[in-house]
Amino acid sequence: MNIDFKKSNGLVPVITQEHGTNEILMLGYMNQEALDLTVETKIVHYFSRSKNRIWKKGESSGHIQKLIDLKVDCDYDTILTTVEQIGGSACHTGAKSCFFRPYLEEVIKKEQSENTL
Q: Compute CA distances 28 → 17, 24, 90, whole Å.
A: 11, 12, 11
> Does residue 116 carry a pLDDT above 90?
no
Give the global pTM.
Answer: 0.87
Between 94 and 43, whose confidence is greater? 43
Q: What is the DSSP string of 7-21?
A: GGTT-EEEEEEETTT
**71 contacts 65 by C-beta, under 8 angstroms:** no
- SS3 for 18-72, per residue? ECCCCCEEEEEEECHHHHHHHHHHCECEEEECCCCEEEECCCCCCCCEEEEEEEE
Q: Cβ distance 97 to 83 under 8 Å?
A: no
Domains of the chain by range and CATH? 6-115 (3.10.20.810)
**Partners of 16 in the β-ladder:** 26, 81
State pLDDT tens for residues 32-81: 999 999 999 999 999 999 999 999 998 888 999 999 999 999 999 999 99
Identity at 35, one-letter amino acid code? L
- Asked whether the beta carbons of 1 and 72 are under 8 A apart, the reply is yes
